[in-house]
Amino acid sequence: MSKMSSIQTAPGMDILCPLHVVLNATGHIVHVGPTLAKILAGRPAVGLRFLELFELKRPRIGQTMEALLGVSGTKLHLQLRGAPRTEMKGVLVPVPAESGLYQQGGALVNLSFGISIVDAVRDFALTSADFAATDLTVEMLYLVEAKSAAMDASRKLNQRLQGAKIAAEEQAFTDTLTGLKNRRAMDYVLTRLIDSETDFALLNLDLDYFKTVNDTRGHAAGDFVLQQVARIMVDETRGDDTIIRTGGDEFVLIFAGITNEKAISEIASRLIKNLEQPIIFEDEACKISGSIGAAFSCDYGKPTQAQMMEDADKALYQAKNAGRGRHVLHRPD
Protein backbone atom coordinates (compact mmCIF):
# COMPACT_ATOMS: atom_id res chain seq x y z
CA MET A 1 0.00 0.00 0.00
CA SER A 2 1.34 3.42 -0.92
CA LYS A 3 1.11 6.42 1.38
CA MET A 4 -1.52 7.90 -0.99
CA SER A 5 -4.22 5.43 0.02
CA SER A 6 -4.31 6.58 3.66
CA ILE A 7 -5.05 10.20 2.69
CA GLN A 8 -8.17 9.94 0.60
CA THR A 9 -9.15 13.61 0.40
CA ALA A 10 -7.63 17.05 0.78
CA PRO A 11 -7.47 18.48 4.32
CA GLY A 12 -10.61 20.46 5.14
CA MET A 13 -12.73 18.93 2.40
CA ASP A 14 -14.87 17.06 4.95
CA ILE A 15 -15.64 20.41 6.65
CA LEU A 16 -16.20 22.40 3.45
CA CYS A 17 -18.16 19.68 1.64
CA PRO A 18 -19.47 17.06 4.08
CA LEU A 19 -21.39 15.45 1.22
CA HIS A 20 -18.50 14.99 -1.20
CA VAL A 21 -17.22 11.82 -2.84
CA VAL A 22 -13.72 11.12 -4.21
CA LEU A 23 -13.43 8.80 -7.25
CA ASN A 24 -10.35 7.15 -8.69
CA ALA A 25 -9.56 6.83 -12.39
CA THR A 26 -11.77 3.75 -12.78
CA GLY A 27 -14.79 5.48 -11.24
CA HIS A 28 -14.52 3.66 -7.92
CA ILE A 29 -15.19 5.47 -4.66
CA VAL A 30 -12.13 6.03 -2.48
CA HIS A 31 -13.69 8.40 0.07
CA VAL A 32 -17.10 9.75 1.15
CA GLY A 33 -17.66 12.88 3.26
CA PRO A 34 -18.98 12.46 6.84
CA THR A 35 -22.62 13.39 6.16
CA LEU A 36 -22.85 11.00 3.23
CA ALA A 37 -21.30 8.33 5.45
CA LYS A 38 -24.02 9.06 8.04
CA ILE A 39 -26.73 8.65 5.40
CA LEU A 40 -25.27 5.34 4.25
CA ALA A 41 -25.39 4.20 7.88
CA GLY A 42 -22.63 1.63 7.65
CA ARG A 43 -23.35 0.48 4.11
CA PRO A 44 -19.97 0.05 2.43
CA ALA A 45 -19.27 2.70 -0.20
CA VAL A 46 -15.52 2.74 -0.59
CA GLY A 47 -14.57 0.28 -3.34
CA LEU A 48 -17.97 0.50 -5.08
CA ARG A 49 -18.23 2.19 -8.43
CA PHE A 50 -19.95 5.57 -8.05
CA LEU A 51 -22.76 4.46 -10.36
CA GLU A 52 -23.30 1.35 -8.24
CA LEU A 53 -24.12 3.58 -5.26
CA PHE A 54 -26.09 6.16 -7.23
CA GLU A 55 -28.33 5.94 -10.23
CA LEU A 56 -27.72 8.85 -12.60
CA LYS A 57 -31.22 9.89 -13.70
CA ARG A 58 -30.16 12.85 -15.81
CA PRO A 59 -28.27 13.39 -18.02
CA ARG A 60 -28.66 9.92 -19.49
CA ILE A 61 -25.14 8.73 -20.26
CA GLY A 62 -23.16 5.51 -20.33
CA GLN A 63 -21.88 3.78 -17.22
CA THR A 64 -18.18 4.46 -17.80
CA MET A 65 -15.83 6.85 -16.03
CA GLU A 66 -15.19 8.50 -19.42
CA ALA A 67 -18.90 9.24 -19.74
CA LEU A 68 -18.99 10.68 -16.20
CA LEU A 69 -16.00 12.92 -16.88
CA GLY A 70 -17.77 14.02 -20.05
CA VAL A 71 -20.55 15.68 -18.01
CA SER A 72 -18.20 17.35 -15.53
CA GLY A 73 -19.36 20.79 -14.41
CA THR A 74 -23.02 20.17 -15.20
CA LYS A 75 -25.86 19.45 -12.78
CA LEU A 76 -26.37 15.73 -12.11
CA HIS A 77 -29.73 14.34 -10.96
CA LEU A 78 -28.91 11.36 -8.80
CA GLN A 79 -30.84 8.83 -6.77
CA LEU A 80 -29.40 6.68 -4.03
CA ARG A 81 -29.83 3.01 -4.92
CA GLY A 82 -31.60 1.16 -2.12
CA ALA A 83 -34.11 2.55 0.42
CA PRO A 84 -35.07 5.29 1.00
CA ARG A 85 -33.94 6.06 -2.58
CA THR A 86 -33.19 9.67 -1.70
CA GLU A 87 -32.86 12.00 -4.67
CA MET A 88 -29.78 14.19 -4.67
CA LYS A 89 -28.17 16.78 -6.87
CA GLY A 90 -24.51 16.68 -7.69
CA VAL A 91 -21.71 18.21 -9.67
CA LEU A 92 -18.50 16.43 -10.71
CA VAL A 93 -15.08 17.86 -11.52
CA PRO A 94 -11.93 16.04 -12.68
CA VAL A 95 -9.13 16.17 -10.10
CA PRO A 96 -6.51 18.85 -10.80
CA ALA A 97 -3.70 17.60 -13.04
CA GLU A 98 -0.95 18.52 -10.55
CA SER A 99 -2.71 17.18 -7.47
CA GLY A 100 -0.52 14.90 -5.46
CA LEU A 101 -3.44 13.90 -3.24
CA TYR A 102 -5.91 12.55 -5.72
CA GLN A 103 -5.35 9.87 -8.31
CA GLN A 104 -4.78 11.20 -11.82
CA GLY A 105 -7.86 10.61 -13.95
CA GLY A 106 -10.10 10.57 -10.86
CA ALA A 107 -12.87 13.01 -9.92
CA LEU A 108 -14.50 14.88 -7.05
CA VAL A 109 -18.29 14.91 -6.74
CA ASN A 110 -20.13 17.26 -4.42
CA LEU A 111 -23.72 16.45 -3.48
CA SER A 112 -26.73 18.21 -2.00
CA PHE A 113 -30.28 17.18 -1.18
CA GLY A 114 -32.07 19.76 -3.27
CA ILE A 115 -35.79 19.84 -2.62
CA SER A 116 -35.79 16.42 -0.92
CA ILE A 117 -34.08 18.05 2.07
CA VAL A 118 -37.18 18.17 4.33
CA ASP A 119 -37.67 14.41 4.04
CA ALA A 120 -33.93 13.69 4.19
CA VAL A 121 -33.53 15.58 7.47
CA ARG A 122 -36.28 13.42 8.92
CA ASP A 123 -35.21 10.13 7.36
CA PHE A 124 -31.58 10.48 8.42
CA ALA A 125 -32.08 12.55 11.62
CA LEU A 126 -29.63 15.14 10.33
CA THR A 127 -28.50 17.97 12.61
CA SER A 128 -26.91 21.38 12.05
CA ALA A 129 -23.50 19.71 12.45
CA ASP A 130 -24.14 17.62 9.34
CA PHE A 131 -24.13 20.68 7.13
CA ALA A 132 -21.29 23.04 6.27
CA ALA A 133 -21.41 26.26 8.30
CA THR A 134 -22.08 28.18 5.09
CA ASP A 135 -24.87 25.85 3.97
CA LEU A 136 -28.30 27.51 4.00
CA THR A 137 -30.14 24.27 4.72
CA VAL A 138 -30.88 25.05 8.36
CA GLU A 139 -32.15 28.51 7.41
CA MET A 140 -34.33 26.90 4.78
CA LEU A 141 -35.78 24.43 7.28
CA TYR A 142 -36.47 27.36 9.60
CA LEU A 143 -38.29 29.15 6.80
CA VAL A 144 -40.33 26.09 5.85
CA GLU A 145 -41.48 25.76 9.44
CA ALA A 146 -42.05 29.47 10.04
CA LYS A 147 -43.98 29.87 6.80
CA SER A 148 -46.10 26.80 7.57
CA ALA A 149 -46.99 28.27 10.97
CA ALA A 150 -47.86 31.63 9.42
CA MET A 151 -49.88 29.94 6.68
CA ASP A 152 -51.71 27.94 9.31
CA ALA A 153 -52.67 31.13 11.16
CA SER A 154 -53.84 32.67 7.87
CA ARG A 155 -55.89 29.64 7.01
CA LYS A 156 -57.61 29.73 10.40
CA LEU A 157 -58.39 33.42 9.91
CA ASN A 158 -59.84 32.67 6.47
CA GLN A 159 -62.02 29.91 7.88
CA ARG A 160 -63.34 32.21 10.60
CA LEU A 161 -64.05 34.97 8.08
CA GLN A 162 -65.73 32.48 5.77
CA GLY A 163 -67.92 31.29 8.66
CA ALA A 164 -68.83 34.87 9.54
CA LYS A 165 -69.63 35.61 5.89
CA ILE A 166 -71.96 32.61 5.61
CA ALA A 167 -73.69 33.58 8.85
CA ALA A 168 -74.12 37.16 7.61
CA GLU A 169 -75.50 36.01 4.27
CA GLU A 170 -77.78 33.54 5.99
CA GLN A 171 -79.13 36.40 8.09
CA ALA A 172 -79.53 38.65 5.10
CA PHE A 173 -81.59 35.95 3.36
CA THR A 174 -83.74 35.05 6.38
CA ASP A 175 -87.04 36.36 7.65
CA THR A 176 -86.29 36.82 11.32
CA LEU A 177 -89.83 36.17 12.64
CA THR A 178 -90.42 32.83 10.92
CA GLY A 179 -86.92 31.65 9.95
CA LEU A 180 -88.17 31.31 6.36
CA LYS A 181 -86.33 32.96 3.46
CA ASN A 182 -87.02 36.62 2.62
CA ARG A 183 -87.68 38.46 -0.63
CA ARG A 184 -83.95 38.89 -1.36
CA ALA A 185 -83.49 35.14 -1.16
CA MET A 186 -86.45 34.66 -3.50
CA ASP A 187 -84.89 36.92 -6.14
CA TYR A 188 -81.65 35.01 -5.79
CA VAL A 189 -83.25 31.56 -6.06
CA LEU A 190 -85.50 32.46 -9.00
CA THR A 191 -82.63 34.08 -10.92
CA ARG A 192 -80.50 31.00 -10.37
CA LEU A 193 -83.26 28.60 -11.50
CA ILE A 194 -84.13 30.63 -14.59
CA ASP A 195 -80.45 31.12 -15.54
CA SER A 196 -79.70 27.42 -15.19
CA GLU A 197 -82.90 26.55 -17.16
CA THR A 198 -84.21 24.42 -14.32
CA ASP A 199 -87.98 23.95 -14.44
CA PHE A 200 -89.92 24.80 -11.30
CA ALA A 201 -93.38 25.50 -9.93
CA LEU A 202 -94.10 28.86 -8.29
CA LEU A 203 -96.88 29.05 -5.67
CA ASN A 204 -98.21 32.31 -4.24
CA LEU A 205 -99.95 31.71 -0.96
CA ASP A 206 -102.00 34.28 0.98
CA LEU A 207 -103.37 33.48 4.40
CA ASP A 208 -107.13 33.92 4.72
CA TYR A 209 -108.70 35.44 7.87
CA PHE A 210 -105.27 36.28 9.27
CA LYS A 211 -106.20 39.96 9.60
CA THR A 212 -109.09 38.94 11.85
CA VAL A 213 -106.72 37.07 14.16
CA ASN A 214 -104.40 40.05 14.33
CA ASP A 215 -107.23 42.51 14.96
CA THR A 216 -109.13 40.48 17.56
CA ARG A 217 -106.35 38.58 19.34
CA GLY A 218 -103.47 41.02 19.03
CA HIS A 219 -100.04 41.00 17.39
CA ALA A 220 -98.59 38.38 19.71
CA ALA A 221 -101.24 35.94 18.51
CA GLY A 222 -100.60 37.03 14.92
CA ASP A 223 -96.86 36.41 15.27
CA PHE A 224 -97.51 33.04 16.85
CA VAL A 225 -99.84 32.04 14.00
CA LEU A 226 -97.23 33.08 11.41
CA GLN A 227 -94.63 30.92 13.14
CA GLN A 228 -97.00 27.94 13.19
CA VAL A 229 -97.82 28.50 9.52
CA ALA A 230 -94.10 28.51 8.72
CA ARG A 231 -93.70 25.23 10.56
CA ILE A 232 -96.60 23.65 8.64
CA MET A 233 -95.10 24.73 5.32
CA VAL A 234 -91.68 23.38 6.25
CA ASP A 235 -93.26 20.08 7.31
CA GLU A 236 -95.22 19.76 4.09
CA THR A 237 -92.30 20.43 1.74
CA ARG A 238 -88.94 18.87 0.92
CA GLY A 239 -85.65 20.23 2.22
CA ASP A 240 -84.61 21.71 -1.10
CA ASP A 241 -87.89 23.50 -1.74
CA THR A 242 -87.72 27.23 -1.02
CA ILE A 243 -90.30 28.87 1.25
CA ILE A 244 -90.37 32.64 1.35
CA ARG A 245 -92.34 35.09 3.44
CA THR A 246 -92.67 38.03 1.07
CA GLY A 247 -94.81 40.24 3.29
CA GLY A 248 -97.20 40.26 6.28
CA ASP A 249 -99.30 37.17 5.51
CA GLU A 250 -98.01 36.49 2.00
CA PHE A 251 -95.79 33.58 1.10
CA VAL A 252 -94.13 32.15 -2.01
CA LEU A 253 -93.14 28.52 -2.40
CA ILE A 254 -90.72 27.39 -5.10
CA PHE A 255 -90.55 23.72 -6.08
CA ALA A 256 -87.50 23.12 -8.25
CA GLY A 257 -87.81 20.25 -10.72
CA ILE A 258 -91.57 19.80 -10.34
CA THR A 259 -93.60 20.35 -13.52
CA ASN A 260 -96.40 17.94 -12.70
CA GLU A 261 -99.79 19.62 -12.26
CA LYS A 262 -101.14 16.76 -10.17
CA ALA A 263 -98.21 16.80 -7.73
CA ILE A 264 -98.60 20.54 -7.16
CA SER A 265 -102.38 20.19 -6.73
CA GLU A 266 -101.83 17.58 -4.04
CA ILE A 267 -99.25 19.68 -2.19
CA ALA A 268 -101.52 22.75 -2.37
CA SER A 269 -104.55 20.85 -1.09
CA ARG A 270 -102.59 19.31 1.75
CA LEU A 271 -101.10 22.68 2.74
CA ILE A 272 -104.52 24.34 2.87
CA LYS A 273 -105.98 21.45 4.81
CA ASN A 274 -103.25 21.72 7.43
CA LEU A 275 -103.51 25.50 7.61
CA GLU A 276 -107.19 25.11 8.44
CA GLN A 277 -106.43 23.08 11.58
CA PRO A 278 -107.12 25.42 14.52
CA ILE A 279 -103.97 26.94 16.00
CA ILE A 280 -104.17 27.21 19.78
CA PHE A 281 -102.82 30.44 21.25
CA GLU A 282 -103.28 31.01 25.00
CA ASP A 283 -105.97 28.31 25.22
CA GLU A 284 -108.03 29.75 22.39
CA ALA A 285 -108.16 28.56 18.80
CA CYS A 286 -107.19 30.84 15.93
CA LYS A 287 -108.78 29.77 12.67
CA ILE A 288 -107.25 30.66 9.35
CA SER A 289 -107.02 29.23 5.89
CA GLY A 290 -105.03 29.90 2.75
CA SER A 291 -105.48 30.58 -0.96
CA ILE A 292 -102.93 29.52 -3.53
CA GLY A 293 -102.19 30.49 -7.11
CA ALA A 294 -99.53 28.57 -9.03
CA ALA A 295 -97.56 28.93 -12.26
CA PHE A 296 -95.16 26.51 -14.01
CA SER A 297 -91.95 27.64 -15.68
CA CYS A 298 -92.31 24.94 -18.36
CA ASP A 299 -95.34 26.84 -19.72
CA TYR A 300 -93.11 29.70 -20.85
CA GLY A 301 -90.76 29.78 -23.83
CA LYS A 302 -88.51 32.06 -21.83
CA PRO A 303 -89.77 32.35 -18.25
CA THR A 304 -89.26 35.61 -16.40
CA GLN A 305 -89.75 36.24 -12.70
CA ALA A 306 -92.09 39.18 -13.31
CA GLN A 307 -94.38 37.32 -15.74
CA MET A 308 -94.59 34.20 -13.59
CA MET A 309 -95.31 36.19 -10.42
CA GLU A 310 -98.05 38.09 -12.25
CA ASP A 311 -99.65 34.90 -13.56
CA ALA A 312 -99.43 33.17 -10.17
CA ASP A 313 -101.04 36.27 -8.62
CA LYS A 314 -103.88 36.17 -11.14
CA ALA A 315 -104.51 32.54 -10.23
CA LEU A 316 -104.38 33.46 -6.54
CA TYR A 317 -107.09 36.10 -7.00
CA GLN A 318 -109.20 33.61 -8.84
CA ALA A 319 -108.85 31.29 -5.86
CA LYS A 320 -109.83 34.07 -3.44
CA ASN A 321 -112.78 35.13 -5.60
CA ALA A 322 -113.95 31.55 -5.79
CA GLY A 323 -114.39 31.50 -2.01
CA ARG A 324 -110.87 31.21 -0.50
CA GLY A 325 -109.35 28.09 1.03
CA ARG A 326 -108.56 26.66 -2.38
CA HIS A 327 -105.92 26.68 -5.11
CA VAL A 328 -105.93 27.61 -8.80
CA LEU A 329 -103.22 26.66 -11.28
CA HIS A 330 -102.34 29.10 -14.04
CA ARG A 331 -102.15 27.25 -17.33
CA PRO A 332 -101.54 28.74 -20.76
CA ASP A 333 -104.63 29.15 -22.94
54-58 β-sheet, strand order: 29-32, 20-23, 107-112, 87-94, 76-80, 54-58
State how far the Cα of 307 lies from the Cα of 232, in Å rounded to an integer: 28
Between 154 and 191, CB nearer to other proteins: 154
Residues whose CB falls within 8 Å of the CB of residue 303, separated by 6 or more in sequence, listed in order = 194, 297
* Nearest distance from C-beta of residue 38 to other proteins, angstroms: 13
Residue 145 CB, nearest approach to other proteins (Å): 6
Between residues 99 and 128, which has the closer beta carbon with respect to other proteins? 128
Q: Which one, 113 or 224, has the nearer CB to other proteins?
A: 113
- Judge contact between 12 and 107, C-beta under 8 A: no
Q: For residues 142 and 216, which CB has a smaller minimum distance to other proteins in the complex?
A: 142
Nearest approach, Cβ of 86 to other proteins (angstroms)? 14
CA distance 314 to 295: 10
Question: What is the C-alpha separation between 82 and 27, in angstroms, rounded?
Answer: 20
- Please identify, using beta-carbon distances, which residue of 126 and 205 lies nearer to other proteins: 126
Are 311 and 227 a contacting pair, CB within 8 Å? no
* Phi/psi at 13 (5° precision): -60, -35
Quote the CA–CA distance of 235 and 162 in Å, as a whole number: 30
Distance (Å, whole) CA 38 – CA 19? 10
Which H helix or E strand runs over 5? none
| Of 143 and 220, CB closest to other proteins | 143
**Contacts to other proteins by CB under 8 A:** 118, 121-123, 125-129, 138-139, 141-143, 145-147, 149-150, 153-154, 157, 160
Alpha-carbon gap, residue 80 to 36, rounded angstroms: 11
Taking the complex as a whole, the smallest distance from the CB of residue 90 to other proteins amounts, in Å, to 22
Q: How far is 16 from 19, CA to CA, in rounded Å?
A: 9
Nearest CB to other proteins, comparing residues 119 and 169: 119
Q: How far is the CB of 121 from other proteins (least distance, A)?
A: 5
CB of 52 to other proteins, least distance (A): 27
What region does 282 belong to: left with phi over 0, alpha with psi -120 to 50, or beta? left
The least CB distance from residue 138 to other proteins, in Å, is: 6
